[in-house]
Structure 1
Amino acid sequence: MLESFQVGTGDVLTVMLHGFLGTGRNLRSLAVAWTKADPRRRILLPDLTGHGTSPALHPDSDLTTLARDVVATLDAQGFTGAVDWVGHSLGGRVSLAASLEASERVRSVAMLDIAPGPVPLNLSDSGYVLDILLKAPPRADSRKALRENLIGNGLSEGLSDWLLMNLTPDGDGVRWRFDRDALLQLHRRVNGQDLWPAVERPVHPPLRCIRGGRSRYVSEESARRLEDAGCPVALLPDAGHFVHVDNPQEVLAWLMAP
């Protein structure tokens, strides 16, 4: 079972999934705003397998196994039946995989800046971040030392601080909580998976996508293909890949729209 927490007490069950290298906490602010605006919602926010404080990745972990772990966690937390799935980046791809693997558990899928097709390595921001993360030492005497390492290798202060949320105490120092080599293998595997069958099959749950105008993850071609398959695509012109951070009110309004 995955590490998770809940927001809201309503009976409209929802699961929100974070992106690569993140944790459930990344979507907490959006979940809190959503449940305040719509008290009917009850939202589960897990740490995906291999992320945060959830169990480690298996050698064969892929989008399907990650989706199965989310479904098992939904069961354990009493989120029975079909629920709404909302996923940012990797979380959106896991949601699509769940719609194929356990269609009876997926009432709808909302994708935050991600497309179903394989992600080219030269377009993967997470690949760039992971490369720098792999160059960092496995442990350090202090959080400050690792922060200086990440910034010195080219990451922004904000992105470095986000990654440092994955540190855990180690004696008189700190170490990374996740297995960086296992995440590298997962990254290669999940980015290569093709999820267009989840979108272009004759019958699928309601799907929608919102993309950032400054992001490269959902191309114009992919947006047209999604629309042709019955998946509406909204655009936030001034947002980057983290649409829920750059334009939280607009993303909330989009989630709440009928």
Structure 2
Amino acid sequence: MKHRTTRLTVDDGTRIAYRDRPSLSSSPSPSPGPPVLLLHGLAGHLGEWDELARRWESGHRVVSYDARGHGESTRRPLSVSRAAHVEDAVTLLRELDLAPAILVGQSLGGHTAMLLAADHPGLVHSLVLVEAGPAGRSPELPGEIAGWLDSWPLPFASLEEATAFLGHEAWARGLEERADGLRPRFDRDTLVRTMTELSADGYWPQWSRIRCPTLLVRGESGTMKPAEAAEMLTRRPDTRTAVVPGAAHDVHLDQPEPLHREIEKFLADEPTSRRADEPPRSDEPMRRSP
């Protein structure tokens, strides 16, 4: 089934493109599971979730969207702060009546989902982080991202050439066709700015106060450091974890079926009652994310 891309304008004027897939369940009982909101990573786009989204449509309403500065959303938004990214997701959850939702985020999208779960617990049913965590990054990160983007041999002459370089057809499908070939649907400098705040800050207080059921998924050869994952478990021992064999950083593209199985197993094992509304512990006062 072809799903139309719609746009929603948030408070600062940024237009967010999203795709809303209603549950295909024809049975009135049991009722469909909680809605799912999918958040992609840096330089990604909503279409890279299509294969996983189809697997959930039989029992969930599924919404994916282009983060600000990506895809068909506003290419050069006024702000690319972490708070602005969180507010975009919050607006979608509220305007589309999705809450409480299952948040599934990969890399940068997972970081956004994590901050949202910390500051807006009532909007979140459960949280799935794919190669994403709270650790602060190195000051060199924006420069590394700039170098990576500058290495793209643009324009790509064909979808096949783009797929060969980017590693996945799903990524290549996010490119736009111009007169000289295929080019990204994002502004290089905007993406570099997007990573600046992450490069200098850590988000362990936010991680520690999350109360909803959480699954952390890493790729067997992913880029997330084992020490970061270990510290996440030390601070929140109830976190479920999974390592997907044969997957690198883009677990949802490398191994979508094993990832889907891990998430379904996690959701099936969780009690029906949410823990999202539990108050923070006395030593973890509620704070706004930066």
The TM-score bracket by the shorter chain reads: 0.7 to 0.9
Partner SS, residue 157 of structure 2: helix
Partner SS, residue 3 of structure 1: strand
1:141-162 CA-to-partner distances (Å, cap 9, x unmatched) read xx418997x89xxxx5244866
Structure 1 12/25 Cα, relative in aligned 2: closer, same or farther at 3 Å?
same
Q: Which residue identity does 2:208 align to in structure 1?
A: E
Structure 1 237/176 Cα, relative in aligned 2: closer, same or farther at 3 Å?
closer
1:231 corresponds to which residue? 239
Q: Is the 8 A contact 2:158 2:182 kept in 1?
A: no
Question: What are the equivalent positions in structure 2 for 1:4-83 lying under 5 Å apart?
Answer: 4-9=18-23, 10=32, 12-35=34-57, 39-79=58-98, 81-83=99-101
2:221 corresponds to which residue? 214
1:58-85 CA-to-partner distances (Å, cap 9, x unmatched) read 3442222101111212333332x32110
* Structure 1 gap segments, 5+ residues each: none
Q: Is the 8 A contact 1:136 1:146 kept in 2?
A: no
Structure 1 256/164 Cα, relative in aligned 2: closer, same or farther at 3 Å?
closer
TM-score normalised by L of structure 2:
0.72
TM-score normalised by L of structure 1:
0.80
Q: Is the 8 A contact 2:157 2:182 kept in 1?
A: no
Give aligned pairs, total.
Answer: 242
Identity within the alignment, %: 23
Quote the RMSD (CA, aligned, Å).
3.0
2:256 corresponds to which residue? 248
Structure 1 11/208 Cα, relative in aligned 2: closer, same or farther at 3 Å?
closer
Structure 1 111/165 Cα, relative in aligned 2: closer, same or farther at 3 Å?
same
Structure 1 216/8 Cα, relative in aligned 2: closer, same or farther at 3 Å?
same
* CA displacement at 1:250 relative to structure 2: 1.4
Question: What are the equivalent positions in structure 2 for 1:89-238 lying under 5 Å apart?
Answer: 89-120=107-138, 128=144, 130-134=146-150, 143-144=156-157, 156-159=164-167, 164-170=172-178, 176-201=184-209, 204-217=211-224, 219-228=225-234, 229=236, 230-238=238-246
2:280 corresponds to which residue? none
* Structure 2 gap segments, 5+ residues each: 1-7, 9-15, 24-31, 270-290
* CA displacement at 1:166 relative to structure 2: 4.4
